[in-house]
A and B are shown apart, each in its own frame.
Chain A
Amino acid sequence: MSSPVIYMDNNATTRVAPEVLEAMLPFFSERYGNPSSMHSFGGAVGKEMREARENLADLLGCGTDEIVFTSCGTEADNTAIRSALAAQPEKRHIVTTRVEHPAVLSLCKFLERSQGYRVTYLGVDAEGKLDMQELADSLTDDTAVVSIMWANNETGVIFPIPEIATLAKSRGIFMHTDAVQAVGKIPISLKDLDVDMLALSGHKLHAPKGIGALYVRRKLPYRPFLIGGHQEHGRRAGTENTTGIIALGAAAKAAKAHIPLENTTVRALRDKLENALLAAVPDSRLNGHKEDRLPNTANISFKYVEGEAILLLLDQLGIAASSGSACTSGSLEPSHVLRAMGVPFTYAHGSIRFSLSRYTTEADVDYVINNVPGIIETLRKISPYKKGAADPLDPKPACGC
């Protein structure tokens, strides 16, 4: 689409910040050297890469030697979990949650199915929160790694990673966190935490797609996923994505400067959007804990209507958002996150996620506020289910999965 878009889908991906684009462009053209080369043409690129690494380390509150650049968040997650397992071959148990991104969840299911690992999938309550006691009870001497996301991509719900990491450490278990949605939105200081590994992804914080990073705590036993050249000190072979790394460094620097803004301006816009929609549309509800949540995410369900239909009508108006409805995912079941939270089917199919960024304007938010109630109204006119009419019985229990 070429017409301007009201972009409310920043948890899916973000626009590359202008300062990031500017920083990276020369590395596509005149500064194409290989940082491993002996000549100064390549070496100069290595110097810029070091600076990028410093910026990222600064955002995360860790050492530069603790960062491994990867091709994406998914690679960082896969590397972390596989490394933890390979480093402790005698341990055969993994603890994770039912609401992880597929980058973790599908991997755990694969390890369970085809490599015989035992996996505990922790549940969440109606507000998307973990039961810390259940977590503590799940840990055993056989547990190799606890992999729990910092913030949920669908609802924005934040898990208490500092506490979880301390608990894991006290039991001698590796702790990995998928912080793809958290980095750049909330303050993180790894040197003060017991987190062993952390995954992040550039395109969620205004860097381009195809660059990510894995934090690996100093001295943590580590097994590389890609084996080959000496790049990243042998922890991730393959000639570096210099352009992406420079971009991620610039994005990290900008993110650090903007974290206060995310938690004031962006949060205020999100709250305005959320409160206005919940007030204007009867039979709507917020999914996820109201407080323990990313400042940019609002996941709202509209009863009696279906998410894909809402999205397409939003699209007609130039509004980009996403949905946890079954029909949008290509699967037939609504989002695994909403189901884990026990969101009733009457609501789950009509869930819409609005995710903002520092580029979202008040005019954008007002435009959405002015248009969404009409869209829901239109679809409710078509729907056979209505308020007042006998509640559409939910004859079938949620599927056992």
Chain B
Amino acid sequence: MWEYTDKVKEHFLNPKNVGEMKDATAVGEVGSIACGDALKLFLKIEDGVIQDASFQTFGCASAIASSSALTELVKGKTVDEALKITNKDIATALGGLPREKMHCSVMGQEALEAAIKTWRGEKVASHEHSEGEIVCECFGVTDEQILSAVRENDLKTIEDVTYYTKAGGGCAKCHEKIAELIAQARGENLAAPAPKPAKRLTNIQRMRMIEEVLEKEIRPRLQLDGGDIELADIEGLVVSVTLRGRCVGCPSSQATVHGVVETILREKVDPEIQVREV
């Protein structure tokens, strides 16, 4: 059984804004019954502001909860503000989703984009995802969708891509292509001018930055997976941390410490940082 947060359960058991909206000015439709989930989002946009939102969803509990949370998120926002909503915002509003269910939040974001596009008079093909070329035939996922999921969520493996977009979750024929797309997207990331800390930091500055990055970037990520992290000590460039929650005893905790915590700290604070689990 999935471990859903109380927020997911609440939105699933008592979903907000369910149903067709007769006087909607924008409608976005994504997914299909073959894929196992589909979302139809209705918006009433007046003077560039989303006055009302409602949805119809076919799918599992987290798909319904994501849709419900999405409608709450967009109400009252301007169209431009709404377009900034990412799948992460939807997942955060739900207190996190199981990793395997992240595609439900992605579906929400895509429906929102599709609705706003139709409202602006841009073309969106219904049911089929519009831009790019289909990479995964089983789930009708395009290269554009995969590239943007990888970039926005910093995905690293084919499994990640499957969890976020479903691509690759069927016959596995498309795995090679997905691996290429991951490399492509991540390569671009590296090429993009990364704002590197220009000069060496003082010890105090470095400690502050480490604390901030841990708090703002690393903890929320581990918490999405039901884990948590605490800073134990900082000695020069060596950062000692303790993993908590679901990270404890997780066979990939070492991978988490080095792959996630160390990578992010090196990127954001200092390329010579070493992380140790204590």
Mark A residues whose CB is within 8 Å of B.
304-309, 312-313, 316, 325-328, 330-334, 345-346, 349, 381-385, 392-396, 398-401
Contacts and interface: CB of A to CB of B under 8 A. Distances in A.
Interface string B147-188: 000000000000000100010011111000000000000000
B260 interface: no
Interface in B20-48: 29, 32-40
Interface residues of B, number: 40
A383 B36 contact: no
B56 A306 contact: no
Which 3 pairs across A and B sit closest by C-beta, in order of nearness? A332-B169, A327-B60, A384-B56
Contacts of B170: 332-333, 399, 401
A327 B18 contact: no
Contacts of B40: 384
A316 B61 CA distance: 13
Interface string B46-76: 0000000000111111111000000000000
Interface stretch (B133-141, B203-211, B242-250): B133-141
B38 A309 contact: no
A24 to B, nearest CB: 28
**Which residue among B60, B63, B173 has the maximum number of chain A CB atoms within 10 Å of its CB?**
B60
Contact of B35 (A313, A331, A396, A400): A396
B220 interface: no
Given A308-B61, A382-B15, A349 B171 contact: no
Contact of B166 (A309, A316, A332): A332
**Which residue among A306, A326, A332 has the maximum number of chain B CB atoms within 10 Å of its CB?**
A332
Given A330-B100, A332-B139, A332-B162, A384 B169 contact: no
A397 to B, nearest CB: 8
A327 B169 CA distance: 12
Given A333-B170, A345-B36, A384-B40, 18 more contacts: A306-B36, A306-B59, A309-B64, A316-B13, A327-B36, A328-B60, A332-B162, A332-B169, A345-B33, A349-B33, A382-B15, A392-B33, A393-B127, A395-B127, A396-B139, A399-B138, A401-B170, A401-B171
9 contacts: A309-B61, A326-B36, A327-B60, A332-B166, A381-B18, A382-B18, A396-B34, A396-B138, A399-B170
Contacts of B89: none
Contacts of A346: 33
Contacts of B18: 381-382
A395 B32 contact: yes
A393 B173 CA distance: 24
A306 B65 CA distance: 14
B169 A333 contact: yes
Contacts of A349: 33, 36, 58
Contact of A309 (B59, B128, B171, B172): B59
A9 to B, nearest CB: 12
**Which residue among A316, A326, A382 has the maximum number of chain B CB atoms within 10 Å of its CB?**
A382
**Which residue among A330, A349, A398 has the maximum number of chain B CB atoms within 10 Å of its CB?**
A349
Contacts of B162: 332
Contacts of A304: 33, 58
A312 B61 contact: yes
B33 A399 contact: no
B139 A345 contact: no
Contact of A382 (B57, B137, B140): B57
Contacts of B173: 400
A309 B15 CA distance: 12
A308 B33 CA distance: 14
**Which residue among B19, B57, B101, B162 has the maximum number of chain A CB atoms within 10 Å of its CB?**
B57
Contacts of A399: 137-138, 170-171
B128 A306 contact: no
B12 A312 contact: yes
Given A305-B58, A308-B61, A327-B59, A394 B33 contact: yes
A246 B127 CA distance: 57
B12 A309 contact: yes
A401 B137 CA distance: 12
A395 B34 CA distance: 8
A308 B57 CA distance: 13
Nearest to A345: B34
B138 A306 contact: no
Nearest to B168: A332
